[in-house]
Structure 1
Amino acid sequence: MELTKSLRQYPLEDIIHDTVRDEPADYGKNKSDFSSTKKFKALKRIPLSGLMDLKIDYAFKQLFGIEKNKQITIVFLNEFLQKTGRDPIKDITFINIEAGGEYIDDKQSRLDVLVLTTAGEKINVEIQFTDQYNMIKRSIYYWSGVYRSQLRSGMGYDELSDVISINLLNFNIFDQTERFHTMHHLFEDEEQFKLTGVMEFHYIEMPKLLKAWKEDQLDPWNDVLARWLLLLGMIDHRNKKFYEDIYRELEEIAMEDETLRKAFHNWEELSMTPEQFLAYESRLKHILDEEAAKREAELRAQKAEKDGMKRGMERGMERGMERGIERGIKSGMKRGIEQGEKKAKKLIAQRLLSDGAEIQYVMGITELSKEEVLEIQKDIMG
Structure 2
Amino acid sequence: MNHKALKRIPLNKLMDLKVDYAFKQLFGSEKNKDITIVFLNAILQRTGRDTVKEVMFVNQEVGGEYEDDKQSRLDIVVKTQMGELINVEMQLSNQDDMFKRTLFYWSRLYTAQLQKGRGYRKLLPTITINICNFTIFDEIKHYHSTYHLYEDTMLERLKPKDDVLEVHFIEMNKFLKAWHQEQLNPLDDILARWLLLLGMVDVRKEKVYNDIYQELEELAMKDENLLEAFNEWENLSQTPETIIAYQSRLKAILDEEARLDDVHEKGIEEGVKKVAKELISLNLDLETIRKATGLSIEEIEELRSEM
Q: Normalization by structure 2: what TM-score?
A: 0.88
For residue 81 of structure 2, the aligned residue among 118, 143, 148 is 118
**Structure 1 unaligned regions, length at least 5:** 1-19, 21-38, 320-382
Partners in 1 of 2:31 and 2:123 — Cα distance?
Answer: 29
**Do the aligned partners of 2:3 and 2:217 also contact (CA within 8 Å) in 1?**
no
Partners in 1 of 2:219 and 2:20 — Cα distance?
Answer: 26
How big is each residue's C-alpha offset from its partner over 1:22-74, in whole Å with a ceiling of 9 and x where there is no partner? xxxxxxxxxxxxxxxxx621213322221111111100000000100000000
Partners in 2 of 1:263 and 1:104 — Cα distance?
Answer: 41
Counterpart residue number, 1:249:
215
Partners in 2 of 1:43 and 1:230 — Cα distance?
Answer: 14
For residue 105 of structure 1, the aligned residue among 68, 83, 90 is 68
**C-alpha spacing 1:216/1:198, structure 2 compared with 1 (3 Å):** same
1:225 aligned counterpart, secondary structure:
helix
**Do the aligned partners of 1:56 and 1:129 also contact (CA within 8 Å) in 2?**
yes
2:237 aligned counterpart, secondary structure:
helix
Percent identity reads: 55
**How many pairs are equivalent?**
282
For residue 165 of structure 1, the aligned residue among 119, 124, 128 is 128
| 1:87 maps onto 2:50 in alignment | yes
| 1:298 maps onto 2:264 in alignment | yes
For 1:269, the aligned partner's letter is N
RMSD: 1.7
Partners in 1 of 2:261 and 2:66 — Cα distance?
Answer: 20
For 1:248, the aligned partner's letter is Q
Counterpart residue number, 2:225:
259
Q: Which moved more, 1:95-104 or 1:227-236?
A: 95-104
**Do the aligned partners of 1:102 and 1:109 also contact (CA within 8 Å) in 2?**
no
| 1:189 maps onto 2:121 in alignment | no
| 1:317 maps onto 2:280 in alignment | no
For residue 219 of structure 1, the aligned residue among 159, 182, 185 is 185
Partners in 2 of 1:141 and 1:74 — Cα distance?
Answer: 25
Pairwise mapping of residues 220-239 of structure 1 onto structure 2 (< 5 A)? 220-239=186-205
Partners in 2 of 1:215 and 1:281 — Cα distance?
Answer: 32
| 1:67 maps onto 2:33 in alignment | no
- Give the deviation of 1:118 after TM superposition: 0.7
Counterpart residue number, 2:297:
none
- Give the deviation of 1:192 after TM superposition: 2.0
Q: Normalization by structure 1: what TM-score?
A: 0.71
**Do the aligned partners of 1:53 and 1:237 also contact (CA within 8 Å) in 2?**
yes
Partners in 2 of 1:132 and 1:103 — Cα distance?
Answer: 21
For 2:282, the aligned partner's letter is G
Partners in 2 of 1:259 and 1:122 — Cα distance?
Answer: 23
How big is each residue's C-alpha offset from its partner over 1:219-273, in whole Å with a ceiling of 9 and x where there is no partner? 1110000110111111110122211101110111001100100000000000001
1:187 aligned counterpart, secondary structure:
coil
| 1:271 maps onto 2:234 in alignment | no
Partners in 1 of 2:8 and 2:141 — Cα distance?
Answer: 34
- Give the deviation of 1:194 after TM superposition: 1.2
Partners in 1 of 2:145 and 2:179 — Cα distance?
Answer: 17
1:194 aligned counterpart, secondary structure:
coil
- Give the deviation of 1:307 after TM superposition: 2.4
**C-alpha spacing 1:313/1:189, structure 2 compared with 1 (3 Å):** same
**Structure 2 unaligned regions, length at least 5:** 286-307
- Give the deviation of 1:318 after TM superposition: 7.2
2:78 aligned counterpart, secondary structure:
strand
Partners in 2 of 1:124 and 1:186 — Cα distance?
Answer: 18
- Give the deviation of 1:298 after TM superposition: 1.6
| 1:180 maps onto 2:143 in alignment | yes
For residue 283 of structure 1, the aligned residue among 246, 249, 252 is 249
**Do the aligned partners of 1:164 and 1:200 also contact (CA within 8 Å) in 2?**
yes
- Give the deviation of 1:310 after TM superposition: 2.1
| 1:202 maps onto 2:172 in alignment | no
- Give the deviation of 1:305 after TM superposition: 2.0
Partners in 1 of 2:239 and 2:208 — Cα distance?
Answer: 20
- Give the deviation of 1:299 after TM superposition: 1.6
Partners in 1 of 2:220 and 2:271 — Cα distance?
Answer: 53
Larger radius of gyration: 1
